[in-house]
Structure 1
Amino acid sequence: MTTTFLTPQQLADRTAAAVEAAVAAGRELGLTVTDPTVLHDVFSVVVHLAPSPVVARIPTVLPRPDDLAALARRQQDELDVTRWLGDRGVPVIAPSPLVPREPVQRGGFSMTLWPFVEEDRDKEPDYVANAESVADLHAALRAYPGRLEFLSAAEPGFIAESLARLDRHPGLIAAAELDRARREWQVLEPLVRSRRAFEDRFPGVELQPIHGDCPPANIFSGVDGDLYADFELVTLGPVEWDLAALGPEHEAAYDRGARRNGTRPLDEEVLGFVNALGMLRAIATLTLAPQLPDLMEYLKPAVDKWQTMPFAGGISS
């Protein structure tokens, strides 16, 4: 089966449609929007609804683009968590106070609205320092009272569906690699599908609200300081998930932060589990490449690295 990728024109049309939907939604909410400016366009289109100090984030590359209800539920979790953190003085990009704190659906998209924060473009990201800071974020999140799903950030349904149909796209992954991925999934799937199975396999490893999407890479450098951002995959899970695939230097930095604030250090066995699980999620993401052709360039190094790693992160079935 030939894999068909979106053309540059189709990608541009999708971006334009997302911007149009965001502008219309902003105006309906009473915002003045005369000069919309796209700030970012990869998995989501992020557009400043200028001159209003509001930014719309519109997810456009999704496993199930038509399931706006499921997307909106996750977006509401993000809005609730970030508002809760902001109310407690945690440095976070919280929802815009100028509009209702809820997802907005328009033109076949579901979007969230945030304050415009000026970026410090001269500051180079320090991912090691950021990893240490994540321990502080975890300490703050421990008290979050809202209900979150167990390891929803791993998207087990997406992994299972993707591994089941990747053999129809031989240009995306070799047969031997797909076979290994499927065998690893047989080992790992029960531990991500069931909180009880996870807790039985890793006794004493506490679960808590976590960021869900590599927070060391999602700390925004604002002109007035760093802010935790992009909680789109916020979930309940082990803190190790937020350090998956980052390596020993970042893990050591996190442990320094944990010692400083009195929380637990990372567990080696759980790291093995989340590293392997994260790699399977990356392989599943290959199925999104037709929607975002540049993904192949970014995912190939991850697939190459995965092949050097212990099978299923050293977790036995």
Structure 2
Amino acid sequence: MTGHLAAHGLPVIAPLRDIAPGPHTVLDRHVTFWPYVAKLDERPEPTAVRDSLTAIHRALSTLSIDLTGRGPARDIIGALGRIPLSAPRQAAIRAELDSLLEVLASAPTQPLHGDPHTGNVYLTAMGLRWTDFEDIWCGPVEWDEACLMTGRTPLRPAPRHDRHPEVLSACLSLRRLQADMWSACTG
């Protein structure tokens, strides 16, 4: 996906071209190869972050890729299997997840970055560069907007006329649930 975006002139860290970037399987782990890119100490301008993510969404909307079964639901369900929770608490989390996914199912979907918070966009000598596309999935654009809004340095998404407020609200709740599960798994 990053190769597609880089070919369209978008600000991403593209995989290496000198060797096959992967993924390669080594000791039952998946490994990919990327160039080293030095980050500057400064942060990218919020407007540049928002505008570049919008441009990435436009380019991703032209990409035909099968991303079935990916996304935050996979992370949450996986976490439920690792966290010691009572049966009623697990049932409540699954019910909340199902309810949120029902709202998301009503929205248009497309390939997404999947985790576009400000920690995944660098300011480099080459300018702003997005990285960490490991959470790509097909979902509503509101998901990526929710990620941008709930990171350590929250940003408002770029204005757009086709935003679905109820979907954005569900995505914000889903992101919080994903973060809670992540925190419970990692301590």
Letter in 2 for 1:149: T
1:88 alignment partner in structure 2: 8
Task: Please tell me whether residue 134 in structure 1 is matched to residue 36 in structure 2.
Answer: no
C-alpha distance 142-231 of structure 1, shift in aligned 2 (>3 A): same
Whether contact under 8 Å (1:142, 1:208) holds in the other structure is yes
Cα root mean square deviation, aligned: 2.8
Whether contact under 8 Å (1:132, 1:250) holds in the other structure is no
- The CA deviation string for residues 77-99 of structure 1, in whole angstroms up to 9 with x for no partner, is xxxx1111112222211110011
2:29 alignment partner in structure 1: 109
Q: Which has the higher contact order (CA 8 A, sep 6+)?
A: 2
C-alpha distance 140-158 of structure 1, shift in aligned 2 (>3 A): closer
Whether contact under 8 Å (1:162, 1:284) holds in the other structure is yes
Q: Which runs of 5+ in 1 are unaligned?
A: 1-80, 169-174, 259-263, 290-295, 297-317
1:76 alignment partner in structure 2: none
1:27 alignment partner in structure 2: none
C-alpha distance 163-254 of structure 1, shift in aligned 2 (>3 A): same
Task: Please tell me whether residue 266 in structure 1 is matched to residue 185 in structure 2.
Answer: no
Cα distance between partner residues in 2 of 1:250 and 1:148: 26
Greater Rg, structure 1 or structure 2? 1
C-alpha distance 266-86 of structure 1, shift in aligned 2 (>3 A): same
- Correspondences of 1:119-268 after superposition (within 5 Å): 119-121=39-41, 123-127=42-46, 129-149=48-68, 152-154=70-72, 156-163=73-80, 166-167=83-84, 179=89, 182-189=91-98, 192=101, 198-199=104-105, 202=106, 205-244=107-146, 246=149, 250-251=155-156, 253-255=157-159, 258=160, 264-268=161-165
Q: Could you tell me the percent identity over the aligned residues?
A: 26
Query: TM-score by structure 2 length?
Result: 0.81
2:183 alignment partner in structure 1: 286
Q: Which runs of 5+ in 2 are unaligned?
A: none
Cα distance between partner residues in 2 of 1:90 and 1:125: 15
Larger helix percent: 1
